[in-house]
């Protein structure tokens, strides 16, 4: 009994409180076979002890997911060799999905790779590799651990081998055709040549001797594949092709010796030509598939191999405080204070100081601590114009290219943590995913080969019984076996996804999976956050309006408290004298600048505890003016309203009108009028109060992005309605909406309410649309990926705008590596284009089989006398796969419409 017990640790996402943990425990313990379940809310882990004979791992996962939580799985991409068609894909997915501990396995035929979601406590990578090899395929290893150069070398070697077999096959086929069909007694002067034209038996034996070596050499990979498949009880294309070429060769041999069949069945050249055309198809297919990987290879190629490390001289401290312009004031490499050392990229540690010379690739994500240059960041943003970098604009990313000056950077992210590595990983995973549109092809593939076998046999029997021509009947059997091709069905989706996702990445658009790729193009409503999405997210203070009397009243109290704190080591009598004299001396000397600074000091002290862009602006202004902020006794963030704090028993409030109303703080008519006026101008307006007294107003203006209106107009041209949801006040939101062309606006929304509004919008519009066509509406939400995380996660398609290394890679279904709002439209255009290309590929794959299989059966023979020879069927099969791949490769040249207008103005 104990041997059946297992302990497993499961990572859960979505639990927020002890009640959530309790509900998960209760649900798990209710399962028959679960002995114990313990959930840790702090680590978001569940430890389950269960009997795997009574309850499955899948059932445990479903119990958790039924409560609305998500189970987090480990992920790995495995490299495979030997897959040729959609049947291979289906068989590998079936065996891996059958392993205990595997949640889902998705195979990409064009990449020869499988993406597995699994629990490492139940199943190992070794187990998966063995399962793959048990089907007769070659397991190469974990994809990300495979050396790219070794992979390229393996590809070149395989291509060379295929090419050699093709050459041998066609040359030997030509020789055999000459022997069979040309009057060789006129061509070859040998004593017995005249007997050859008379004795077909001698020609047959000669053809057998000439063909047997080339046949084995050319056909061996196909026959080996067929043998492995049969030995593992799998019907795939290798089995069909093996049967086709073996039937042709064995029939020829039997005909040569008049065993059952006569000399009319000698078509050795057809047997070899079949194998040659099949090899040619795989050769062309391999070359084309390799081209689909160019985008990911280019990304990998961006990774630098070495870096220049600056090492401090032990006798003298490295000093980079002196300013350099990157051109004329370069640091001497032989300076006594440091020396340079070339190291491999893997040796870089966080905090290392690195030297990047003009033309070199930046080796790690970091910040510029000195120097001045332009950096080509087109590989992450898709924008061709180099960006200026210095100590002020200091973020740089691995793989980008330094242009014309020297930069000294401090590494902050290295190895797999760099933005480039994350992009490579994200693109690679996306290329291995399947959009739902592929589901029809997957269903067909399950029945394809058995159906083709039945059609081939029935066709042969029909013609044999109909006209008694065994040769014609046998030819139709061979033709059907070699012409039927699920390869094109298997390649229709992965090749388009691979090329399309890679091309989108070149524009800074990272699409995470196939379902999102399909849904994005169906978007009917695009909802935008305001701050940092439609606007720059870098507000500037535009107005300060102090209430002089109130500020003058509190000024000496706060300054006095600070003074006493600074002189806390003095005795109480001295503090008392300071206390009594300070008020009158300060009050009489205050001017407007003092009052403004005091208002900023109070506001900045609270805002310093917040991460909101507005808070950062106010704190930065205090730093610029060298205003000292005070330490608060307590602090509270009231979501969507403002901030509350206690300082020296005084309550301070900073926020919008809502928070003052909640505290019953009255605003004078004059101040309220000014507050509304500033709000109507589209400015973010902050009220500051101590106790029940309002001290003043600070207004900020957040600049609207230059291309915001152009983006909204472009969405409308795609029949997509833009909307806006924001926590800002209604007046500001409406003003911004007018400027960018958004009419539907929901304002003054708390962050946790955005998802509720999104759901309400979806319900409202979906109900109306269902009346027309029965379909749900697809809603895309666009935000900064941090504050808008719930809405981004809850939308049908969540798009997260990133800003370099701070990008929230996990928050969105689509991640834009730059803050370029146009890329929202780029993502949607790519979705439409790629899904349309997939549908075209699937159509041609189906059309090919539906048209040519009946022709191979001889359906045109009675009326038109047209016969589809087996070797031509093999050629058609080869061309079908190449056609599908070639159509997918056209996506490499796709340029979104929004990017085509070189002269657009904002």
Active site residues: 529
Task: For CA atoms 556, 562, 565, 570, give the dihedral sign.
Answer: negative
* Rounded Cα gap, residues 619 and 608, in angstroms: 6
What is the SS3 assignment for 611-666?
CCHHHHHHHHHHHHCCCCCCCCCEEEEECCCEEEEEECCEEEEEECHHHHHHCCCC
First CA to last CA across the chain, in angstroms?
Answer: 72
For the record, the structure tokens of 163 come out as 């090419």
Angle between helices 730-740 and 708-717 (to 10 degrees): 70
Tell me which residue of 437, 32, 161, 16 sits closest to 24, measured CA to CA: 16
Q: Read out DSSP for 348-366?
A: --TT-EEEE-TTPBP-SEE
What six digits make up the tokens of 518?
Answer: 């399909």
Give the span between the Cα atoms of 147 and 155, in whole angstroms. Answer: 12
Judged by DSSP in three states, 157 sits in helix
Phi, psi of 657 (to 5 degrees): -65, -30
How buried is 25 (Cβ within 10 angstroms: 0-12 exposed, 13-18 middle, 19+ buried)?
Answer: middle
DSSP 390-414: SSSS-EE-TT-EE-SS-EEEEEEE-
CB atoms within 10 A of CB 262: 14
If one counts every other C-beta atom within 10 angstroms of the C-beta of residue 4, the result is 11
Whole-number Å distance between alpha carbons of 34 and 751: 38
Which whole-number Å values give the CA distances from 716 to 526, 709, 780, 894, in the listed order?
Answer: 10, 11, 14, 21
Dist CA 888 CA 496 (whole Å): 5
What is the spatial distance between Cα 279 and Cα 661, in angstroms, rounded to a whole number?
79
* Separation between Cα atoms, residue 845 and residue 847, nearest integer Å: 6
Answer yes or no: are the C-beta atoms of 57 and 17 closer than 8 Å: no
Q: What angle do CA 699, 702, 705 make, to 5 degrees?
A: 165
Pairwise CA distance, residues 670 & 697, whole Å:
12
What 8-state DSSP symbol labels residue 234?
-
The alpha carbon of 493 is separated from its chain's Cα centroid by a whole number of angstroms, namely 16
- Spell out the residues 6+ positions from residue 13 whose beta carbon is closer than 8 angstroms to its own: 44, 69, 70, 71, 72
Residue 92 contacts residue 138 (beta carbons within 8 Å): no
The count of C-alpha atoms lying within 13 angstroms of the C-alpha of 724, restricted to the half-sphere facing its C-beta, is 30
What's the token pair of residue 313? 């001289």
- What is d(CA 83, CA 228) in angstroms, rounded to the nearest whole number? 12
DSSP-H helix ranges across 257-388:
268-292, 294-301, 378-381
Identify whether the C-beta of residue 547 lies closer than 8 Å to the C-beta of residue 687: no
Nearest C-alpha neighbor of 859 from the set 459, 274, 450, 464: 459
- DSSP 8-state secondary structure symbol assigned to residue 652: E
Q: What radius of gyration do the chain's Cα atoms show? A: 36
Closest CA to 514 of 115, 24, 27: 115
SS3 552: helix
Question: Tokens 């996506």, residue?
Answer: 891
């Amino acid at each position: 009994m104990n041997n059946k017990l297992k302990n497993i640790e499961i990572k859960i996402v979505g639990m927020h409180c002890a009640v959530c943990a309790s509900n998960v425990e209760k649900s798990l313990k209710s399962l028959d076979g679960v002995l114990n379940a313990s959930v840790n809310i702090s680590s978001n882990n569940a430890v389950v002890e269960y009997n795997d004979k009574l309850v499955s791992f899948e059932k445990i996962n479903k119990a958790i997911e039924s409560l609305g939580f998500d189970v987090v799985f480990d992920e790995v991409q495995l490299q495979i060799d030997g897959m040729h068609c959609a049947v291979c894909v289906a068989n590998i997915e079936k065996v891996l999905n059958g392993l205990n501990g595997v949640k889902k396995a998705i195979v990409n035929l064009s990449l020869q790779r499988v993406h597995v979601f699994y629990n490492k406590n139940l199943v190992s990578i070794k187990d998966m590799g063995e399962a793959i090899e048990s089907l007769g395929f070659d397991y190469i290893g974990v994809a990300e651990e495979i050396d790219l150069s070794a992979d390229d070398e393996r590809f070149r070697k395989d291509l060379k081998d295929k090419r050699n077999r093709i050459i041998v096959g066609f040359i030997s086929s030509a020789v055999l055709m000459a022997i069979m069909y040309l009057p060789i007694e006129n061509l070859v002067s040998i004593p017995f040549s005249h007997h050859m034209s008379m004795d077909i038996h001698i020609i047959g034996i000669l053809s057998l001797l000439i063909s047997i070596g080339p046949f084995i050499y050319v056909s061996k990979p196909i026959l080996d594949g067929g043998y492995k498949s049969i030995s593992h009880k799998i019907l795939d294309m290798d089995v069909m092709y093996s049967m086709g070429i073996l039937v042709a060769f064995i029939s020829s041999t039997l005909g040569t010796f008049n065993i059952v069949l006569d000399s009319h069945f000698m078509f050795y050249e057809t047997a070899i030509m079949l194998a040659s055309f099949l090899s040619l198809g795989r050769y062309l297919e391999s070359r084309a598939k390799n081209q689909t990987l160019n985008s990911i290879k280019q990304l990998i190629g961006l990774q630098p191999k070495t870096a220049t490390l600056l090492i401090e001289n032990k006798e003298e401290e490295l000093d980079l405080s002196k300013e350099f312009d990157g051109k004329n004031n370069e640091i001497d490499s032989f300076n006594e204070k440091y020396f340079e050392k070339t190291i491999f990229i893997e040796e870089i540690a966080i905090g290392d100081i690195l030297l990047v010379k003009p033309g070199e690739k930046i080796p790690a994500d970091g910040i510029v601590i000195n120097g001045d240059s332009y950096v080509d960041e087109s590989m992450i943003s898709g924008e061709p114009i180099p960006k200026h970098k210095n100590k002020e604009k200091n973020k740089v990313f691995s793989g980008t290219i330094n242009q014309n000056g020297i930069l000294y950077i401090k590494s902050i992210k290295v190895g797999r943590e760099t933005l480039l590595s994350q992009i490579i990983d994200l693109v690679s995973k996306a290329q291995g995913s399947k959009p739902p549109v592929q589901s029809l092809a997957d269903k067909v593939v399950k029945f394809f080969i058995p159906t083709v076998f039945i059609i081939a046999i029935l066709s042969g029997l029909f013609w044999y019984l109909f006209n008694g021509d065994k040769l014609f009947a046998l030819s139709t059997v061979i033709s059907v076996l070699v012409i039927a091709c699920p390869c094109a069905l298997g390649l229709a989706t992965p090749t388009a996804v691979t090329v399309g996702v890679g091309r989108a990445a070149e524009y800074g658009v990272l699409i995470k999976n196939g379902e999102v790729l399909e849904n994005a193009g169906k978007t009917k409503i695009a909802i935008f956050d305001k701050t940092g999405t439609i606007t720059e997210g870098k507000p500037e203070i535009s107005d300060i309006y102090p209430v002089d009397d109130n500020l003058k009243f509190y000024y000496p109290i706060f300054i006095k408290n600070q003074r006493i704190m600074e002189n806390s080591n003095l005795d109480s009598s001295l503090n008392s004298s300071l206390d009594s004299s300070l008020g009158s001396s300060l009050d009489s000397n205050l001017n407007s600048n003092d009052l403004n600074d005091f208002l900023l000091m109070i506001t900045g002290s609270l805002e310093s505890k917040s991460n909101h862009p507005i808070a950062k602006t106010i704190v930065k202004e205090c730093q610029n003016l060298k205003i000292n902020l005070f330490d608060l006794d307590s602090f509270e963030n009231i979501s969507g309203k403002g901030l509350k704090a206690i300082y020296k028993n005084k309550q301070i409030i900073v926020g919008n009108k809502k928070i003052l109303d909640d505290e019953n703080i009255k605003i004078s008519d004059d101040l309220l009028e000014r507050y509304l006026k500033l709000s109507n101008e589209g400015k973010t307006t902050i009220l500051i109060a101590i106790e029940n007294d309002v001290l003043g107003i600070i207004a900020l203006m957040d600049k609207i992005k230059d291309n915001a209106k152009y983006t909204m107009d472009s969405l409308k041209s795609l029949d997509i309605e833009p909307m806006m949801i924001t926590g800002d006040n209604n007046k500001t939101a409406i003003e911004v909406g007018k400027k960018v062309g958004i009419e539907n606006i929901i304002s003054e929304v708390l962050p946790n309410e955005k998802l509720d509004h999104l759901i309400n919008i979806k319900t409202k519009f979906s109900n109306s649309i269902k009346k027309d066509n029965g379909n749900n509406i697809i809603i895309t939400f666009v935000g900064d990926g941090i504050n808008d995380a719930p809405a981004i996660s809850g939308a049908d398609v969540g798009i997260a705008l990133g800003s370099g290394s701070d990008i929230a890679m996990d928050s969105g279904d689509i991640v834009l590596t730059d803050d370029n709002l146009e890329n929202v439209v780029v993502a949607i255009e790519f979705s439409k284009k790629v899904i349309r290309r997939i549908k075209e590929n699937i159509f041609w794959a189906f059309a090919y089989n539906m048209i040519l299989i009946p022709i191979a059966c001889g359906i045109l023979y009675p009326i038109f006398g047209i016969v589809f020879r087996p070797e031509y069927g093999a050629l058609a099969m080869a061309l079908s796969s190449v056609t599908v791949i070639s159509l997918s490769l056209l996506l490499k040249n796709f340029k979104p419409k929004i990017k085509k207008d070189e002269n657009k103005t904002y």
